[in-house]
């Protein structure tokens, strides 16, 4: 029987004018929503906030993590190794996808259309965003994956192949060319496979960046959020 997992904490940055859209930002393994928020705010040189977009920074459940020899860590799901060649742990990934789907449903219940919700994440958080966007919540506005990858024969690829032509959300990827934990090639391979599967995706290589977020990336990320969630009624959403 699987352990009952619960999100550790959820930080919400409310829209400063009116809540018309929602952005989820998911942290990497061993981190927290608070750490992710602080990192982005420092790079942004002020708190990241939008007039019409609420930002949600959840913290992953604490659970045993195989790459740390089973030690407890704040991770979205377990995996056999930090490698794209190992099989995904389907039950672990599906369990957190169900939990995050409930969080997304709460935004919809509060009156935010699913087409005005975006998912984004760094490293493991980026991988979870991909699973959610292309397996569980394919009607969202878009997905941003930073410094991440999908395993070979990922459940995401399988789901896209079996989606019967349903329109999928666009994807923006960022990846450091000098990433020492998740090699750029892994992110590039993910991008190429998704593109072959007809996902509307764009990969932005970041020169001289390791496994990290950088200021230019956050600037482009912010602009992308505004462009994706804007509409004729709210051009600066």
Q: Show which residues are catalytic.
A: 123, 179, 211
Q: Which residue spans within 113-178 are E strands per DSSP?
A: 117-122, 142-146, 171-176
Q: To 5 degrees, how large is the angle CA 76–CA 131–CA 111?
A: 90
Rounded distance between C-alpha atoms, residue 224 and residue 172, angstroms: 9
Terminal CA-to-CA distance of the chain, rounded, Å?
44
Torsional class of 29: left (φ above 0), alpha (ψ -120 to 50), beta (otherwise): beta
């Amino acid at each position: 029987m699987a352990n009952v997992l619960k999100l550790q904490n959820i930080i919400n940055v409310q829209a400063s004018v009116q809540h018309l859209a929602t952005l989820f930002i998911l942290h990497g393994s061993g981190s927290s929503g608070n750490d992710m928020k602080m990192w982005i705010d420092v790079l942004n040189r002020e708190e990241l906030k939008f007039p019409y977009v609420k930002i949600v920074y959840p913290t992953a459940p604490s659970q045993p993590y195989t790459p740390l020899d089973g030690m407890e860590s704040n991770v979205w799901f377990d995996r056999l190794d930090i490698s794209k060649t190992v099989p995904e742990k389907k039950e672990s990934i599906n369990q957190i996808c169900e939990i995050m789907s409930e969080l997304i449903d709460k935004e919809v219940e509060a009156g935010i259309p699913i087409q005005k919700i975006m998912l984004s994440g760094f490293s493991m958080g980026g991988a979870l965003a991909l699973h959610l966007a292309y397996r569980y919540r394919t009607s969202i506005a878009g997905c941003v994956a930073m410094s991440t990858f999908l395993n070979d024969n990922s459940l995401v690829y399988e789901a896209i192949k079996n989606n019967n032509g349903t329109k999928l959300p666009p994807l923006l990827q960022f990846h450091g060319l000098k990433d020492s934990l998740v090699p750029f090639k892994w992110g590039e391979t993910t991008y190429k496979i998704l593109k072959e599967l007809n996902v509307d995706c764009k990969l932005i290589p970041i020169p001289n960046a390791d496994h990290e977020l950088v200021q230019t990336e956050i600037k482009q990320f912010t602009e992308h959020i505004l462009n994706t969630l804007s509409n004729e009624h709210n051009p600066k959403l």
